[in-house]
Chain A
Amino acid sequence: DQQVKQNSPSLSVQEGRISILNCDYTNSMFDYFLWYKKYPAEGPTFLISISSIKDKNEDGRFTVFLNKSAKHLSLHIVPSQPGDSAVYFCAASFNSGNTPLVFGKGTRLSVIA
């Protein structure tokens, strides 16, 4: 039962261009969404989040867009840099005290210099 889906296992982008990573979810009760970045042999690190009351959240080069009606969110990285090459996980949660994150399978981003 994949409640959070990242349908693209990998993505390659030229340095300086925009990277767009997509995520779909099935549970309409999710109301908080996060993106994590993971380098090999390291734990996931938090990147950016968005509450369901918003449709956009921006932090520097990273912007997350949320389309609740489509149950879809995306992460935009612009401009992409070689150091952005990593696996990106989309995660979702209920906004209560202690609800575990549900992760997607991840998308491996390769930024080519």
Chain B
Amino acid sequence: EPEVTQTPSHQVTQMGQEVILRCVPISNHLYFYWYRQILGQKVEFLVSFYNNEISEKSEIFDDQFSVERPDGSNFTLKIRSTKLEDSAMYFCASRAGNWNTGELFFGEGSRLTVL
């Protein structure tokens, strides 16, 4: 069964450092997302990406964040200068098309710990 894969599964970094989280969405999917979940809280939308550009982003997704699809298979989330409050589980997700034709598939997540 096709799946969304994410690396690394866990990353520990110092505050102020840059972090890149990587995702390989399901190959025939068109829409890509990053969500995050701070421990004990709800899953929060960060950004959506379609047709090689950001289609929507939340207020969490400030100038410290960027996304890229560099090679047609990977979908990356970069945090330029991490803060303590960026510590969370980051989930990549993808879907084929309109909601009626396909649900959102999530990866297993990348846990980011900022010290």
A98 and B55 within 8 A (CB): yes
The answer, yes or no, to whether B109 is at the interface (CB within 8 Å) is yes
Q: Are B42 and A49 in contact (CB under 8 A)?
A: no
A83 vs B61: C-alpha distance in the bound complex, in angstroms? 35
Q: Does A103 lie at the interface of the complex (its beta carbon under 8 Å from any beta carbon of B)?
A: yes
Cβ 8 A contact of A42, one of B42, B98, B109: B109
Question: Which residues of chain A in 39-90 are interfacial with respect to chain B, using CB atoms and an 8 Å cutoff?
Answer: 41-46, 49, 51, 89
Determine if B103 and A46 form an interchain contact, defined as CB atoms under 8 angstroms apart: yes
Smallest CB separation, B40 vs chain A (Å): 9
Q: Which of B55, B91, B98, B104 contacts A95 (CB 8 A)?
A: B98
The A-contacting residues of B in range 63-115, CB under 8 angstroms, are 91, 93, 97-100, 103-109
Residues of chain B with a CB closer than 8 A to A99's CB: 56, 99
Tell me if B56 and A95 are in contact (CB < 8 A). no
B42 and chain A: residue at smallest CB distance: A105
Please report the number of residue pairs spanning A and B whose Cβ atoms sit closer than 8 angstroms.
Answer: 63
- A46: B residues at CB distance < 8 A: 103-105
Chain A to chain B contacts (Cβ below 8 Å), 30 pairs:
A32-B100, A34-B99, A34-B103, A41-B108, A41-B109, A42-B108, A43-B91, A43-B106, A43-B108, A43-B109, A44-B43, A44-B91, A46-B103, A46-B104, A51-B100, A89-B42, A95-B99, A95-B100, A96-B98, A97-B31, A98-B55, A98-B56, A99-B56, A100-B56, A100-B58, A101-B45, A103-B35, A103-B45, A104-B42, A105-B42
- Interface set of B (CB-CB < 8 Å, partner A): 4, 31, 33, 35, 41-45, 48, 50, 55-56, 58, 91, 93, 97-100, 103-109
With A34-B103, A106-B42 known, 19 other A-B pairs at CB within 8 A are A32-B99, A34-B99, A36-B106, A43-B4, A43-B108, A43-B109, A44-B43, A89-B43, A97-B50, A97-B98, A98-B48, A98-B55, A99-B99, A100-B45, A100-B58, A103-B43, A103-B45, A105-B42, A106-B43
Binding site for B on A (CB under 8 A): 32, 34, 36, 41-46, 49, 51, 89, 93, 95-106
